[in-house]
């Protein structure tokens, strides 16, 4: 609840409004009129509001904060008119189940309010002079200047004014705000990006704090994306940071990835990694991926023009099975390993935006923090990759024959009406080989997965090879009723 | 509609800008096509001294970019740096 008030604030009454049984903590912020500002004595303050707009903005701020901290209730009242020294100018109360969320929510309200609420204040000095705060020439020069903030970065010949402008126009998505995502986001938040989105559906946990360096012990239980965004906004008030405190799923991944300059894969499991990889590939967005195992880590940039794809490396593996073989989600981690890898991910992403000469996205880097070595491994495309290989080269005999995947014409007819996808090679005309089929780019595994999730699916293509390879891939991922027609175009 | 034909706009001023403009509301007929052009006009004829880069603009109660095209009848508010709290 937000109010503008032209009469003194009754803080006791506001406190009562917030009382509810599920609340275990109330954090209150009171703004007081003080008797000095920038070294000059102040006798009175005069607050003026753009009423209708201020009410909407105030309500919006509270709605955002209540959404960021589930179970938290927030009230805020802001004074207008003339106030004497010692009077209450703003009262904010945040009641939450636990104190961590209450402190964070209260802080977020006052910071957002000072930045956004269309309210102005005029200082009255003892000599009768008056001054609108923040509206003087001195205020204009002393405000946080992006040029000054980024000066040492702009001084790099590889950045310069043009590079800084490219960063300001860039939009980045970090998926996973854990051991990798925390250090990556820290360096991205200070780079001057146009937009930075942090996506993570998890909560801060005590056993993760040793490597998830954006969080403090009193934030345990708070949504990671929300806590990280709050921390980074405090670190750099100029940064435009959004929290997406929800798990990335096949349903939201397209929207999240759309329009991004690059995406950072800071996840800890193959299911999420394949999902992000396929979504980025479909959207033509570069993906900077990293994974760690104890003292070792791996860094790979998948971008248009780099060799191969994630499926080249793991042909026809089920992500859940790959996850079961490792221990990255819950196993032991040497914290500096994720720290180094996360910062390297930020560096690769910034170089992608800056098109830095000398950047090399064709090698995968293998790091070993035990002997502090970095090995560059040249990536090559796997010619028989079901996703990015050429149909002329995909050797169907390399995967054991699975007769239940290939449908003969009789079996296809016997199946009755069924959803069908016609797979297109790059550059091929978008016209299905037979009526009723949806055209899908062969590399768009994301779309094929969506279709397969909706029920039985038959794949077909001109050669009959790609469809068989992709049907096997989707089967291997655990999709049941996916088939390939034995022949190509009819 | 001819984009440069003069049109009537409703302006509202707050805080430092209200004092400089000498009024809270003002109806102006202008050929300005965008808030940026409109503010340059106001600086010249109303003596507004706040630099444009310190301002935000709300048109019909929504924050918009300074180069957004203006329509006849728009309600335009130039927002000086806020100082709540
Ligand atoms: Zn591949």
Domain ranges of chain B: 7-72
Contact with chain A for residue B65, Cβ under 8 A? no
**Low-confidence stretches of chain B (pLDDT beneath 70):** 1-4
Asked if B82 reaches chain A (Cβ–Cβ under 8 Å), the answer is yes
Q: What is the mean pLDDT of residues A304-314?
A: 89
Q: Which is more confident, A357 or A315?
A: A357
pLDDT level of residue A489 (50, 70, 90 thresholds): very low
C-alpha–C-alpha distance, residues A176 and A490, integer Å: 46
Domain B7-72: CATH architecture, name and number where available: Roll (3.10)
Per-residue pLDDT band at A435 (split at 50, 70, 90): confident
Q: Is residue A135 part of a domain?
A: yes
A119 shares a domain with A9: yes
User: Which among B14, B54, B58 has the least Cβ separation from residue A120?
Assistant: B14
Tell me which of A98, A119, A141 is where a domain ends: A141
State the alpha helices, DSSP H only, in A137-211. 137-142, 146-149, 151-154, 160-168, 181-189
> Please, how many CA atoms are within 13 Å of residue A101, restricted to the half-sphere of its CB?
24
The verdict on A336 and A414 lying in the same domain is no
Residue A404 lies in a domain: no
Given a cut of 60, whether residue A234 has pLDDT beyond it is yes
The whole-model pTM stands at 0.80
B64 part of contact set with chain A, CB < 8 Å:
no
Q: Are residues A64 and A178 in the same domain?
A: no
> Are residues A122 and A158 located together in one domain of the fold?
no
Stretch A461-488: mean pLDDT? 84
Is A240 in CB contact (< 8 Å) with chain B?
no
At A411 the pLDDT is 83
Q: Is residue A267 part of a domain?
A: yes
Kindly state whether residue A485 falls inside one of the protein's structural domains: yes
Tell me, yes or no, whether A188 and A128 share the same domain.
Answer: no
Whole-number pLDDT of residue A142: 64
**Chain A to chain B Cβ contacts (< 8 Å):** 68
Which residues span the domain enclosing A443?
409-489
Flag whether A403 is in a domain: no
CA of A37 from ligand 1 middle (Å) equals 63
Question: If you measure from the C-alpha of residue B2 to the centroid of ligand 1, how many angstroms do you get, rounded to a whole number?
Answer: 55
Whether B16 sits inside 8 A of A113 (CB atoms) is no
Contacts of B77 in chain A (CB under 8 A): 50, 53
Instruction: Please indicate, yes or no, whether residues A106 and A219 belong to a single structural domain of this protein.
Output: no
Question: How large is the average pLDDT for residues A286-307?
Answer: 94
Question: Do A120 and A214 share a domain, yes or no?
Answer: no
* Chain B residues close to A134, C-beta within 8 Å: 80-83
Q: What is the structure's pLDDT at A292?
A: 92
A122 with A68: CB under 8 angstroms? no
Q: Are residue A227 and residue A312 in the same domain, yes or no?
A: yes
pLDDT, tens only, A237-290: 899 999 999 999 999 999 999 999 999 999 998 889 999 999 999 999 999 999
Of A125, A141, A157, the last residue of a domain is A141
- Over residues A182-225, the pLDDT tens digits come to 999 999 999 999 999 999 999 999 999 999 999 999 899 999 99
The 10 Å CB-count burial string (b at 16+, else e) for A266-294 is bbbbbebbbbbbbbbbbbebbbbbbbbee
Domain membership flag for residue A385: no
> Is residue A283 in some structural domain?
yes
pLDDT digits (tens, 9 = 90+) for A370-390: 999 999 999 988 888 888 887
Q: At what angle do helices A181-189 and A335-354 cross, to 10 degrees?
A: 40
Structurally, how many domains does chain A consist of?
Answer: 3
From A83, A117, A141, give the residue that closes a domain: A141
| pLDDT score for A397 | 46
Which residues in A343-358 are b (16+ Cβ under 10 Å) and which e? ebbbbbbbbbbbeeee
How much of chain A, in percent, has pLDDT values that exceed 70?
Answer: 94
pLDDT at position A490: 44
**How high does pLDDT run on average in chain B?**
90
Residue A316 has pLDDT above 80, yes or no: no
B12: closest chain A residue by CA: A50
Task: Say yes or no: A300 and A181 in one domain.
Answer: yes
């Amino acid at each position: 609840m937000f109010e503008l008030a032209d009469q003194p604030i009754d803080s006791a009454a506001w406190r009562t409004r917030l009382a509810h049984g599920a609340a275990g903590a109330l954090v209150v912020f009171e703004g007081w009129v003080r008797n000095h500002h920038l070294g000059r004595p102040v006798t009175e303050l005069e607050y003026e509001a753009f009423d209708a707009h201020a009410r909407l903005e105030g309500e919006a701020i509270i709605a955002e904060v209540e959404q960021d901290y589930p179970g938290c209730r927030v009230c805020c009242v802001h004074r207008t008119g003339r106030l004497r020294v010692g009077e209450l100018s703003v009262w904010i109360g945040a009641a939450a189940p636990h104190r961590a969320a209450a402190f964070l929510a209260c802080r977020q309200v006052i910071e957002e309010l000072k930045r956004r609420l269309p309210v102005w204040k005029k200082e009255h000095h003892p000599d009768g002079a008056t001054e609108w705060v923040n509206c003087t020439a001195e205020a204009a020069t002393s405000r946080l200047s992006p040029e000054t903030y980024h000066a040492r970065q702009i001084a790099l010949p590889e950045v310069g004014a043009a590079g800084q402008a490219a960063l300001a126009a860039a939009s980045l998505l970090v998926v996973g705000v854990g051991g990798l995502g925390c250090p990556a986001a820290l360096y991205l938040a200070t780079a001057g990006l146009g937009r930075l989105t942090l996506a993570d559906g998890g909560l801060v946990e005590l056993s993760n704090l040793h490597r998830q360096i954006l969080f403090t012990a009193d934030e345990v239980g708070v949504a990671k994306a929300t806590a990280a965004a709050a921390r980074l906004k405090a670190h750099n008030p100029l940064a435009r940071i959004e929290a997406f405190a929800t798990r990335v799923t096949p349903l939201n991944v397209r929207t999240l990835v759309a329009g991004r300059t690059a995406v950072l894969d800071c996840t800890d499991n193959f299911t999420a990694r394949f999902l992000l990889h396929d979504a980025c590939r479909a959207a033509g967005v570069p993906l900077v991926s990293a994974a760690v195992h104890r003292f070792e880590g791996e860094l790979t940039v998948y971008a248009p023009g780099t060799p191969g794809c994630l499926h080249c490396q793991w042909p026809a593996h089920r992500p859940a099975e790959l996850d079961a073989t490792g221990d990255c989600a819950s196993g032991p981690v040497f914290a500096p390993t994720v720290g180094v890898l996360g910062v390297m991910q930020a560096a690769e992403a910034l170089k992608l935006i800056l098109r830095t000469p000398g950047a090399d996205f064709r090698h995968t880097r293998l790091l070993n923090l035990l002997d502090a070595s970095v090995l560059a491994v040249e990536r090559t495309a796997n010619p028989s990759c079901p996703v990015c290989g050429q149909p002329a080269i995909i050797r169907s005999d390399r995967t054991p024959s699975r007769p239940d995947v290939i449908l003969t014409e009789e079996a296809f007819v016997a199946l009755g009406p069924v959803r069908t996808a016609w797979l297109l090679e790059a550059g091929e005309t978008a016209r299905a080989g037979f009526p009723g089929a949806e055209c899908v780019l062969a590399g768009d595994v994301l779309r094929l997965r969506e279709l397969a999730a909706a029920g039985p699916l038959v794949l077909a293509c001109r050669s009959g090879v790609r469809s068989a390879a992709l049907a096997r891939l989707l089967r291997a991922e655990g999709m049941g009723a996916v088939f390939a027609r034995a022949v190509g175009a009819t | 509609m001819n984009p440069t034909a003069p049109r009537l706009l409703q302006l509202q001023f707050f805080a430092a800008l209200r004092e400089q403009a000498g009024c809270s509301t003002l109806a102006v007929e202008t050929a300005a096509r965008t808030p940026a052009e409109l503010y340059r006009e106001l600086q010249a004829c109303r003596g507004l001294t706040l630099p444009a880069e310190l301002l935000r603009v709300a048109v019909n109660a929504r924050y918009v970019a300074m180069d957004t095209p203006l329509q006849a009848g728009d309600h335009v508010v130039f927002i000086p740096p806020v100082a709540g709290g």
